Amino acid sequence: LVVQWKVPQTLSAWIQRADRAARRPGTLGLAVLLAEKAAFEVNPAADTLAATTTQTSGRGRGSGGRGRGGRGAGARGR
């Protein structure tokens, strides 16, 4: 059972979360989305802004740095 409170920003995010209800093949799961009233309201200004905004790089997780797989020195390169 997966219960999601508030609508995720993308459909793919919801599908990924709903998939967690039944991971193994052959099992049944249930995913429930509890949407707030504002999710059903139309906001033309927000729709226009979302359509004109573009993401410039990656998944919004920074620009490399010393994290996983980055080009930082790590423990061995010090």
Q: pLDDT digits over 42-66, tens only?
A: 877 766 666 666 555 556 565 555 6
Domain layout of the chain by residue ranges: 2-40
Which run of H or E residues covers position 5?
Answer: strand 2-5
Give the 3-state secondary structure percentages of the chain, helix then strand then coil, rounded to 5.
30, 10, 60
Digit-coded pLDDT (tens) for 17-29: 888 888 888 889 9
